[in-house]
Amino acid sequence: MSSTEAPSYPVDARNRVKRRHDRGFYDHDTVHRLLDAAVLCHVAYVVDGLPYCTPTLFWREGTTLYWHGSSASRMLRNLSDGQPACLTVTHFDSLVLARCGFNHSADYRSVMAFGEARLITDAAEKRRALVMMVDRFFPDRTAGLRASTDQEIKATSVVAMEIERASAKIRARGVVDDDEDYELPIYAERLPVRTVIGAPEPCPRLMPGVQRPEKLGGYRDGRLLEDALAEAHAAAYGG
């Protein structure tokens, strides 16, 4: 890669977008932007010859992805020595109603990231990761919280995966019909879909005088969740 080229993930048979190549992106900027604007992922791997896919919270640091789960999880225990895994996220942007059933579709932005998932066993690394599990979404929040107990930390597993391959796939075309179908008297439309933050609902058992921290201002009524998440990630990692 020359100094003028944007950093990209290697492309091979595992991550190449095989259908609709024009929708595939492999550059770090596109892949990371979609990851950082998401909060929930699905992680797929094989355990004892059977496929499993788990939804979980995740976050990114550079080209490393992290997620967490219960230490009692059979799937996480199987990652002790490393395990091939695929982490996916999807932003669902619209439903598309065309003039033909075949052309009905959806607009979306998605990422598939591949690598070797491993359990974090180093105590200091695990504690730092558990801090960022909160601070990635709410920068600097952990410093003002009750410290996690040793038992709480023991009960939680953290997994790290260096991204070896990744691809983003984006459809943002709206209604696309065959040319001759545009002459048909059939209604067609695009239905935008957004995940929007609602009005905050303070805990009814707050101590008197406890106010909402100003740093939570990014999570405000009516704002797109993905915008708040991307902003928080940039604040947490100085991006």
Alpha helices by DSSP H, the chain: 28-36, 74-77, 123-135, 150-154, 225-237
Topology of domain 21-194, CATH: Pnp Oxidase; Chain A (2.30.110)
Give the pLDDT confidence of 128-181 residue by residue, as tens digits. 999 999 999 999 999 999 999 999 988 888 999 999 999 999 999 999 999 999
Does residue 52 register a pLDDT over 70? yes
d(CA 59, CA 68): 10
Task: Give the pLDDT score at 196.
Answer: 98
Task: Give the pLDDT score at 78.
Answer: 64
Task: Give the pLDDT score at 141.
Answer: 96
Residue type at position 155 = A
Mean pLDDT for the chain? 91
Give the pLDDT confidence of 77-124 residue by residue, as tens digits. 666 667 899 999 999 999 999 999 999 999 999 999 999 999 998 999
> What band does 3 get if pLDDT is binned at 50, 70 and 90?
very low
Task: Give the pLDDT score at 20.
Answer: 76
Of the candidates 114, 141, 149, 97, the one whose C-alpha atom is nearest the C-alpha of residue 9 is 114
Tokens for 194, please give them: 């957004």
Does residue 1 register a pLDDT over 60? no
Q: pLDDT above 70 covers what percent of the chain?
A: 93
Through-space distance between the first and last CA atoms of the chain, rounded to whole angstroms: 23
Q: pLDDT above 90 covers what percent of the chain?
A: 75
Query: Which of 48-57, 199-208, 210-219 has the lowest average pLDDT?
Result: 48-57
Angle between helices 225-237 and 28-36 (to 10 degrees): 110
Q: What's the rounded mean pLDDT across residues 24-40?
A: 95
Domain ranges across the chain = 21-194
